[in-house]
Amino acid sequence: MAENIKAGNASGRTPFSLRLSVLPFLAKYGTIIGLAIMIAVFSFLAPVAFPTVSNFVNVLNQASLGIIIAGGLTVAVIVGELDLSIGFSASFLGVLVTGLMVWVGLPVPIAILAVLLVGAFIGFINGVIVTKIGVNSVIATLGTGTIIVGLNFAYSSGAPIAMGVPDAFVNIALGRLWGVPHNVLIMVAVIAILWVVVERTSIGQSIQAVGGNPVASRLSGIPVDRVKIIAFMICGACAALTGLLLASSLGSGTTSAADGYLLSAFAAVFLGSATLRDGEFHILGTVFGALIIAVGFNGLAIFGAPTFYQYVFQGAILIVAVGLSSLGRLYAAP
């Protein structure tokens, strides 16, 4: 019963009970504290390898692609829907972009633009299935995601496309500007754009409104279906960008290269909702969430932890993330 816990509301200023004041605080700032603790512990345990500028740049670089795909997912989640197709979609589009260059011979910019459009189109299809047919978004995107896996195998026969990938394409991800990897710069630009779109534009306000209360939004003159479709398209385009940057980093289009981004993106989005706001999804929170995950993986790698720890870490962090997120919402309930 939600009312039970409402006693803890009180804007976190109930001085009478430790439990009542500590939990809301943790739900709001726990992720930031967690990130700080993680950095402190890793720095202490691995003073040579971890706390160096090059390692931090390395972590940011590794986190970039995850942040971009998670940023897109955040938009879908804000509008009140889930998109499970993003990982498969990113994998497929990474294969497609190399295929378009190597097999079709399209110039690099054209191939990139085409793939971004295909990503947005996949989002469009997801949105149409969810809004016009009324399929629950979990089911709809699980379905489209699986179809995309099939398309991917059909297109590439499951073999990586590695030969003949243009250097210009590989340099996108591997190059640096003023010592900063391109991926990081692209990520910062994408996050800036997403933040402005969500927080400072009319479509962003509509996305937030629809996620908050679709009925009230409709009666306030917001075209609910169109807004949801646009949110899916933004999400799809971000997945495409992650897929093609990954292909660029790897120097090849690999069939299931980006599948793993799905879980970490969800963990980042939910961790983010428990950051600074009361269980509300937002772009900057997602960046924080993704950084926590990246720092965690980096720490595991530095200590040479066996692979299975990574899975344990990933699963645990997803549960902690969603748990913190719902705690935040409970305390925010008016």
Which residues contact other proteins (rule: CB under 8 A)? 1, 3-4, 6-7, 9-11, 13, 16, 196, 200-203, 205-206, 208-209, 212-213, 215-223, 280, 332, 334
Least Å from the CB of residue 204 to other proteins: 8
What are the CA-CA distances from residue 220 to residues 80, 130, 201, 214 (Å)?
Answer: 17, 21, 17, 10
User: Cα–Cα distance between 159 and 164 in angstroms, integer?
Assistant: 14
Residue-wise over 193-227: b if at least 16 C-beta within 10 A, else e?
ebbebbeeeebbebbbbbbeebeebeeeebebbeb
How many residues in total does the chain contain?
Answer: 334
Give whichever of 176 and 329 is closer to other proteins, judged by the CB atom: 329
User: Cα–Cα distance between 94 and 63 in angstroms, integer?
Assistant: 18
Least Å from the CB of residue 334 to other proteins: 4
Give whichever of 7 and 154 is closer to other proteins, judged by the CB atom: 7
Least Å from the CB of residue 131 to other proteins: 14
The alpha carbon of 23 is separated from its chain's Cα centroid by a whole number of angstroms, namely 26
Give whichever of 146 and 213 is closer to other proteins, judged by the CB atom: 213
Least Å from the CB of residue 274 to other proteins: 15
Least Å from the CB of residue 24 to other proteins: 11
- Quick check: 93 and 118 in contact, CB under 8 A? yes
User: Cα–Cα distance between 332 and 212 in angstroms, integer?
Assistant: 14
Give whichever of 11 and 157 is closer to other proteins, judged by the CB atom: 11
Give whichever of 25 and 311 is closer to other proteins, judged by the CB atom: 25
State the sign of the Cα–Cα–Cα–Cα dihedral 22, 37, 191, 137: negative
Coil vs helix vs strand at 230: helix
Give whichever of 18 and 219 is closer to other proteins, judged by the CB atom: 219
Least Å from the CB of residue 211 to other proteins: 9
Neighbours of 48 (CB within 10 A): 8
CA triple 17-18-22, angle to 5 deg: 125
Least Å from the CB of residue 10 to other proteins: 5
Give whichever of 94 and 204 is closer to other proteins, judged by the CB atom: 204
